[in-house]
Amino acid sequence: MNARIPAHALQPDLALERVSQAWDNDIVRQLTDYIAIPAKSPMFSPDWAEQGLLDTVVR
């Protein structure tokens, strides 16, 4: 499980392609949705917990 991957088995171009695709197709959208939630901390809105916005998004 902790064995090193042999250098000949690594495919950096393929890894970059897959990571870039995941970033563009999924991660950016999720980050955008997350930062759109107006309930990040008690300093932003004292009644953030009662509003339930974070609970709604996590579901």
Instruction: Write down the pLDDT at residue 7.
Output: 83
What is the reported pTM? 0.53
Per-chain mean pLDDT for the chain: 84
Question: Is 55 in contact with 46 (CB distance < 8 Å)?
Answer: no
pLDDT digits (tens, 9 = 90+) for 31-53: 898 888 776 666 777 787 788 87
* Domains of the chain by residue range: 17-58
Q: Write out 1-59 in H/E/C secondary structure.
A: CCCCCCHHHCCHHHHHHHHHHHHHHHHHHHHHHHHCCCCCCCCCCCCHHHHCHHHHHHC
Instruction: Write down the pLDDT at residue 39.
Output: 64
